[in-house]
Amino acid sequence: MEAREPVAARDLRVSDAEREHVGEMLQRAVGQGLLSLGEFTERMDTALAAKTRGELNVVLYDLPGVQLVGEHGQPVAPPTAAGQPAYPAPGHPQPGYAQPGYLQPTGPQSGQVVRGRMSTVVRKGRWQVPPTLHVDSRMSTVTLDFSEAVMQTQVVELIVDDYCSTISLIVPPEATVDLNGVETVGGSATNKVRTGPPMGPLHLVVRGRVRFGSITAKHPFGTTFRRMLR
């Protein structure tokens, strides 16, 4: 059997986790004034479309403090503050690895995950809402309609990890929503309903990060008009 030539490090395939980590690095570069928003958007588009390490490295080549994968040899990942690789090299997974800021539930107690990648995600009707719900979205449109949902508890914790998405939270007229725990980076958090205290069938407590996106809590369409008629 003819032996195959080893694959160069730059030609190795990259995972979604690596693309998302590079996105985090680009966001930090914007915060440090190294990239403009226009440059960030252009490079983020390239990172999301990258299939190999060589293609992914293109968006980081001129950023200081980033060690890239070379044309030959083993892939080297940029170190974190703890001195560990920011993401594992292919074939060398690290036990317990998790990206900074990336939600990875470890069991049923962590709640359900609503995940979107450049897509439209909708939850409506009589869907089951756990006590803790995670939203992990990238460049998506996410709609969570709680108006007919089945709640297991009155207070629901919603943990958001978002980049460049539009998140809509539709709650019943008697519900209350707390958005004070949401951190926004180049984005917005808008609450069009009461904040509390819990007094109706649902009190939604939202926390996490929204980067270059938006999150809005509101009542179903026509709620204000129906109140006026009553």
The one-letter amino acid code at 123 reads: R
Q: Provide the domain count of the chain.
A: 2
- Residue 184: which domain range? 109-229
Predicted confidence pLDDT, tens digits, the chain (230 residues): 555 656 677 788 888 888 888 887 887 787 777 888 788 888 888 888 889 888 888 888 888 766 554 433 343 344 343 333 333 333 333 333 333 333 333 333 345 899 999 899 999 999 999 999 999 999 999 999 999 999 889 999 999 999 999 999 999 988 999 999 999 998 999 999 998 777 788 999 999 999 999 999 999 975 554 455 45
Alpha carbons 158 and 113: distance in angstroms, whole number: 10
DSSP count for the chain of H helices, then E strands: 4, 12
Residues 65 and 118 in one domain: no
In the listed set 91, 121, 137, which residue is the last one of a domain according to the structure?
A: 91
Question: Which residue in the block uniquely carries the two structure tokens 């990259």?
Answer: 14
pTM for the complete prediction? Answer: 0.55
Position 203 scores a pLDDT of 93
| Residue 97 within a domain | no
| Residue 21 within a domain | yes
Angle in degrees, CA 89, 91, 95, rounded to 5: 75
Residues 117 and 223 in one domain: yes
Question: Which residue in the block uniquely carries the two structure tokens 């190999």?
Answer: 52
Helices 16-31, 37-49: inter-axial angle, 10-degree rounding:
170
